[in-house]
Each structure stands twice: as structure tokens, then as C-alpha cells.
Chains A and B, each alone.
Chain A
């Protein structure tokens, strides 16, 4: 087994993968891709690795995978002997998948706002922030109901790939001018997430819970 992550330190999507690699205590090599200002993820060399021109990419032996959510599922499926990170029981699996897709879809509006504010991307920032707020409200509503039911994770009674996939761009939202004022349940979930063993912070996410 040789794991190699094509990585960019400031990327929330790469952070998702680094988080789970850490939680699973896996060793891996990192190839830093000059996302900004070099735009090497759009270079011909990198397009040969990922035709979508996106980070992260994970190589696991001969297997090469793109898409943070797909990579999370692969890592959990292959390396998590407890089966907890990617629960297979019928009561939880569908819910985990639903929020995993939400992380790769609706929540990415917060990533767009962050690219605008941090790296000067030319996009409709008001629309991005509005969409991110709409997504955060949906997750906050869900987590508020979970609190009433005595639970603290997105699905089940332990963290799953759904929590890992949703966490980075919610936690980093301030970089894109999106505050957490309106989301009390989300704020408490963010704090609990940082107590997962082997949690690693990144730039923009405080180490202290």
C-alpha cells in the first residue's frame, strides 16, 4: 500500500481527505500542487492526472481517484476495519450518503465565496453567500433536531464520512464572509468535531476547542 495525496494546504476539499487519513492513522506522501498563484491544477501535466483539473487526487497503489467525497468513501471502505466511518447498516447508510452529496454540492457555495475573498476569483459573491447560508440553515435545522433526539453527529452515534465531508467549508466559512451567528446547532457540532482523536487544524481553523 502506497498512498499519495495531490494536495493544496489551503484547500478545504484536500483538508477533508487529510482529516480522514489522520483519523484512520494512515501514512501517506503529499505532492503539493501550486493551486495559487501557479494554477498548476489546470496545467497539461495535471490534467493528465485529473481531467477535471481539480484537487484533491488520491493514488492508492495503481488506483487513482478524484473527488473528495469519493476518496473519503474509498479510504473508509478499504482501511476502516470498524466500519464506523462508512456505516453499512440500512438505517444509517442512506442518510450518510445524502449528507455526503450535500457536502459536495450545496455546501460548496461556501467554498466559492472563500475563493472570491481569499484568492480574488471573479464570481457573484452575493449569490454564493446566499446559497451558502441556505445550505447552512438546512444543516443547522438537521443538527438541531439531532440535538433534541440526544445525538450530536450528522448520522448515527459516532462521526462518519458525512461529518468529515461537511466540516471543512462550514468551519472555514468566515474566510468567505459567511458568519456562524445564525446557526447555534452548527456551532456546537463544529466544536464537538474538533474533539475527534487525531483531529488536525488548518489555516483558518483554530486548534483550540
Chain B
């Protein structure tokens, strides 16, 4: 787990407490420091969801290494990953709603454009919001039908390259009550019902090749010390019946890992 993210989370909690206690200035300071801490996160791309699952005009809660993020999409265009806090009062932006390409906070309706800048404060319609009011936006990439985010400020790393296949289709996001290490071991040990050739093109990314036609891509999202998300895409599984069977098999994978029963179909 990433220490800087834990520090950032602790700051965020302090910020919210300060706001509740009425010290808005202290809350703002803690929030800025929290964003600063989070920027020191490990420079890597983490899968945070399936692209198809994030519908237009919606906002969703996601947790990466204990840090609360809002994953949202405007009427069109790619998904965005922001810190899950409105700069105004710390309300979770994943509770928000989308209007005209802006994410609106549910609390007072403050609207934020795609770059994170505040563009609208409904209580003061005549006011042009200061440029300093800005939601914490993170780098996002959409590849293999999976949304990836890099929470670090460095951003030298690239999204893992998965060779050969291009027609990835979304399968399922699993959330497993085990650590990333246990989940990886469980993925490796699982009986997929065909000879499996595993590969790990990057840390926390697992590719299973089943025969000549089928590939599974499993990308891990560390949630908490004891919880891990797995975002799964497939290649070569197209008939609806086959895709349903695959989703059921992935549910069994999750259940097997949590049961700790080792290899199982």
C-alpha cells in the first residue's frame, strides 16, 4: 500500500472535521495539503473501472489504496478521475450530477469543468469563480476497455502494453475481500477449464491465454489492505451465452479466492 495516499487520506479526514467544526480556512489548508501528499503517490497506472460501466452523465465512487475518488463522465468524452471532495465543503463529488459537461456538487451545486476548475457557483450567478477553486484531477487513460488512472504527479510511467490482441471487451469488475497479493496468487492458481498460459505484463496486471482464441486481462485495483478490485476484459469471447458463462466463472474465481480453497472451477 502506498504511504503517501494514507497520509493524504488522514489529511482529508482532518479537513472534513475542520469544516464540520466551522473552521473553513483550516479545512481548505488540510485539503490542499492532502492533494499535495497524494501527488507523491507511486508513479503507476491503476485500473479503476470498466469503461462501459461508466455511463454518460454519471459520477461514481472509487477507492484506491484507501483514497476516495470520483469517477465521472460528461455527456460525451472520456471518463475523469478526481479526488472525491468538493473544494467548497468537502462533500463527495461522486454524489454529484452532470450537467453541460460539468460535474455539479450535490451540496450547493458548484460546477466544475473537465479540467477541474470551478466554473459555476449557483448562489452567486454574477461571480466568475476564482481560478484557485479547483477539484483535484488525476491523469486518466482508457485502454483495453478499462479506465486507468495515475495518481502521482510524476506521470513518467505508461499504461501497461498488452501485446497482440486489440478487440478487448469488458467482462466484469470484481471486488474481493483479500489483499492484492492473495488475489494475484488466486488468479494464478484458478482452474479456467482450459490450459492457461499466464503472463504479467506489469505489476498488478495479469493476462491469461486460454488456447489459441481466448485471452483474459485481469487488472488489479488495491482498495484497502484487505480488499482488491479486479477489472476484467476478454478477447475472443463474443457469443452472449459464452460471455454470461465467463462472468459466472469470474464470480466463482472471486468466491474461490475468498474461500481460500485454492484451484477450483
Contact = CB atoms under 8 A, between A and B. Distances in A.
A187 B59 CA distance: 10
Interface string B44-59: 0000011001010110
Contacts of A126: none
B62 A181 contact: yes
B244 A145 contact: yes
A200 interface: no
Interface string A140-151: 010011001110
B60 A148 contact: no
Contacts of B61: 179-181
B108 interface: no
B14 interface: no
Contacts of A148: 240, 243-244, 247
A185 B60 CA distance: 11
Interface of A: 141, 144-145, 148-150, 179-182, 184-185, 187-188, 191, 206, 208-209
Contacts of B11: none
Given A141-B251, A144-B247, A145-B247, A184 B240 contact: no
A188 B243 CA distance: 19
A184 B54 CA distance: 8
Nearest to B68: A181
A188 B55 CA distance: 8
A206 B106 contact: yes
Interface string B123-161: 000000000000000000000000000000000000000
A33 B77 CA distance: 48
Contacts of A181: 61-63, 175, 223
A188 B62 CA distance: 14
Interface of B: 49-50, 53, 55, 57-58, 60-63, 95, 97, 104, 106, 172-173, 175, 223, 229, 240, 243-244, 247-248, 251
A209 B59 CA distance: 10
Contacts of A144: 172, 247
Given A144-B247, A148-B244, A188 B95 contact: no
A189 to B, nearest CB: 11
Given A141-B251, A181-B175, A206-B97, 15 more contacts: A144-B247, A145-B247, A148-B240, A148-B244, A149-B240, A149-B244, A184-B49, A184-B60, A184-B173, A187-B58, A187-B60, A188-B55, A191-B55, A206-B95, A208-B97
B94 to A, nearest CB: 9
Contacts of B172: 144
A187 B173 CA distance: 13
A187 B50 CA distance: 13
A145 B248 contact: yes
Contacts of A184: 49-50, 53, 60, 173
10 contacts: A148-B244, A180-B60, A184-B53, A184-B60, A187-B60, A188-B53, A191-B55, A191-B58, A206-B97, A209-B97
Contacts of A141: 251
Nearest to B95: A206
Contacts of B251: 141
B53 to A, nearest CB: 4
Contacts of B55: 188, 191
